[in-house]
Structure 1
Amino acid sequence: MKYAIRRRILRTNPLPKGKDSTAATKTTNAVDERALLNPEQAAAILDWIRRRPRGGKRLHAFFATLYRCGPRPEETVAMLIHTATPEVGKQWTDTGEIREQRDMKGRAEGGTRTVPRHRALTRILRQHIADEQLQPGDLLLQGETGGILAGAVIRRAWRSARKAVLSPHVFDSPTGRRVYDTRNTRLTKWLNDGIPPAQVAGWAGNSVAVLLSSYARCISGQLRDLKQRILARGDLPDLPETG
């Protein structure tokens, strides 16, 4: 509007006061703690997906990886997590494919990262490899035709599982509404388990600053332990009594 006024296209700014276009829009990347899954909810959803008649075991391996390791969904479909393949649409890729292969978010070209893997997930993935008869060089988590697991299939299966196992009022709530909430749940659990933020950030592929700004409101349950540590150390040594 100011530009239009300078060019004599407009005489005055028609926007209401306080609607200055130069004002920065306030946004937040903080994770909503209401979206996090508790262990019982996560277990029920994963079990329902596992028993799904069409592609259930394959999708179970995908969601179990998200929940146990906390990678991003686009990294998970590109396991072994050396590259990420975000779904961006054919018109935006150089190859005409729906997904475009990229290096991991926030990492240098060819960069990798190590994440912890629970032994329960090891059993799931080993069984998945045997069932699918996968060979070295194959995608670990494939779609029905052997290609990239489609985002639409992932989201549809997740929504169906939530609707099947959650009560109606929980289903309508933010709890686990997005597939990405499985990652947020895992990262929050690591932080609440007392794992240092620098280590969690390394596993998550985030900076410490981004991690804390995103998950600070979700960290809880450590106050009593922290108070005990402060009291146990004390501030000053005991002084001798004077007569």
Structure 2
Amino acid sequence: MKSREVRIRGIQVNALTGRKKSYTVRWVVGTGPKSRTFGTRALADNFRSDLMQAANRGEAFDGDSGLPESMMAPVASVSWLGFVRRYVDMKWPGAAAKSRESTTDALATATVVLVRDLAGQPDPALLRRALREWEFPPASRQLDRPADIAAALRWLDKASLPLSALAEAAVVRPALDALGLTLDGRPAAASTTRRRRSVFYNVLQYAVELELLDFNPVDKLRVRSSRRKVAGEVDRRVVVNIRQARELLTGVTYVGQRGKNGRRGERLLAFYACLYFAALRPSEALGLRERDCHLPATGWGLLTVEKSRPAAGKRYTDSGEVHDDRGLKHRGDTEAREVPIPPELVAILHAHIDRFGAGADGRLFRSDRGNVVASSTYSRVWEEARTLSLTPDRVASPLAGRPYDLRHAGVSLWLNAGLPAPEVAQRAGHSVDVLLKVYAKCLDGDRSRMNERIEAALS
């Protein structure tokens, strides 16, 4: 119901202790009080001015939203694709490159499903690539597009459902189902499904905040009971003991053809050693610089871990490089963490620096061309090292299947050595809760020792 009986009040300043001020515009339509809160005084002033101008023109105000006709969003004309562009533009500046990549993955998966049945529909894989690489990354929208990409996006502009259609459960359910599948129709990893659905929910919630939808339609849908549980713990079968870790590190040095700069594996020995003896994440080891390493001639050393170089893709980083350049996970941009390292790793790092030196930016681990080592490169080297170092039955097992599993083994080693959980969490860069939930695992080969302890207690 609409009304021309409008009273516009002043702006209320909300000053909360320890928090930024906010500004609330209050007005009354008929007998119904309305309000809208803004983060800055300027936005509140502009909004109030628009309301006053509409009232002076004699416009009718909507009784539900409290807005005049000129300020009502034409919801039916807003397409899902157009709204997603708006959401991406809002989130992009403050998001990390990996978050940008995962956001575009989720939104591309849903957008391909939220379309009308129009003639000439391109292949879904092409549509997803067009969205992820050309339409969603803001900087890519200005680039010249290949003919097939341009045609696919033109079709999407025409076929994309109106945002208002998502109020229907029959429309939202297929999108939710698609978020749980890979391109070939197989079930996606449980963690991938959960992440995608979280992004999808947040986009719809943003539409609710902007009053383009009355409610989040996902809230009215029952979650399918067949969803697989997301694994919260490390599989103890992947965790190596110290003997196996040393054998694998030795095997790394035999990977690749010998050249003037040594074998490819020899250049990465210290990289893998940092994952095990210092429990670094691969992205943290890739960001390690010579100045971050305190390496005495004898005894324990210290790594000051400050940088992380996660791989995301050129379209998702501000620099246009494949690897983002960020601070540490779960920490501020300039916040570092110190990790004491044993003499064995000190010696390995000394040998690496003496033989290979550091790059122009001080980084220790680089490709032959001086770039950040690609994850595909250090993963291939690791696969070969496993084949060289482990027995065939171990190679076929999950044991140390990924370089990241060395970090799991390193943290498990510290825990089994008796270090207090808060100290282990500090060194590993985790909260204590996450540490105890995810990393508290026994080392491979230590079960017999644990059994002996139990047997002694029972006797």
TM-score band, normalised by shorter chain:
0.7 to 0.9
| Aligned counterparts, 1:127-206, within 5 A | 127-134=351-358, 137-206=361-430
Q: CA 1:169–1:86 in 2, change beyond 3 Å: closer, same or farther?
A: same
Could you tell me which residue of structure 1 aligns to residue 280 of structure 2?
71
List alignment gaps of at least 5 residues for structure 2.
1-163, 178-220, 293-304
Tell me the amino acid that sits aligned with residue 21 of structure 1.
V
Could you tell me which residue of structure 2 aligns to residue 41 of structure 1?
244
| Aligned counterparts, 1:1-243, within 5 A | 7=168, 20-21=222-223, 26-52=229-255, 53=258, 54-79=263-288, 80=292, 81-134=305-358, 137-218=361-442, 224=453
TM-score (norm 1): 0.80
TM-score (norm 2): 0.44
RMSD of equivalent CA atoms: 3.0
Find the residue that maps to 2:387 and give its secondary structure. Answer: helix
Q: Is the 8 A contact 2:308 2:328 kept in 1?
A: yes
List alignment gaps of at least 5 residues for structure 1.
229-243
Distance across 1 between alignment mates of 2:345 and 2:325: 25
Distance across 2 between alignment mates of 1:198 and 1:113: 14
Which structure is higher in strand share?
2
Distance across 2 between alignment mates of 1:143 and 1:9: 51
Tell me the amino acid that sits aligned with residue 264 of structure 2.
G
Larger Rg: 2
Q: CA 1:4–1:183 in 2, change beyond 3 Å: closer, same or farther?
A: same
> 1:5: Cα distance to partner?
11
Q: CA 1:60–1:21 in 2, change beyond 3 Å: closer, same or farther?
A: same
Q: CA 1:42–1:7 in 2, change beyond 3 Å: closer, same or farther?
A: closer
Q: Deviations over 1:107-149 (max 9, x none)?
A: 1120100112111111111121111233784211222112212
Percent identity, aligned pairs only, is 33
Find the residue that maps to 1:218 and give its secondary structure. Answer: coil
Tell me the amino acid that sits aligned with residue 252 of structure 2.
I
> 1:55: Cα distance to partner?
2.2
- Larger RCO (alpha carbons 8 Å, 6+ apart): 1
> 1:92: Cα distance to partner?
1.6
Aligned residue pair count: 220
Distance across 1 between alignment mates of 2:393 and 2:169: 55
Q: Deviations over 1:163-197 (max 9, x none)?
A: 12212221111100011100000000100010000
Distance across 1 between alignment mates of 2:327 and 2:388: 36
Q: CA 1:6–1:94 in 2, change beyond 3 Å: closer, same or farther?
A: closer
Q: CA 1:116–1:6 in 2, change beyond 3 Å: closer, same or farther?
A: closer
Tell me the amino acid that sits aligned with residue 234 of structure 2.
V
> 1:30: Cα distance to partner?
0.3
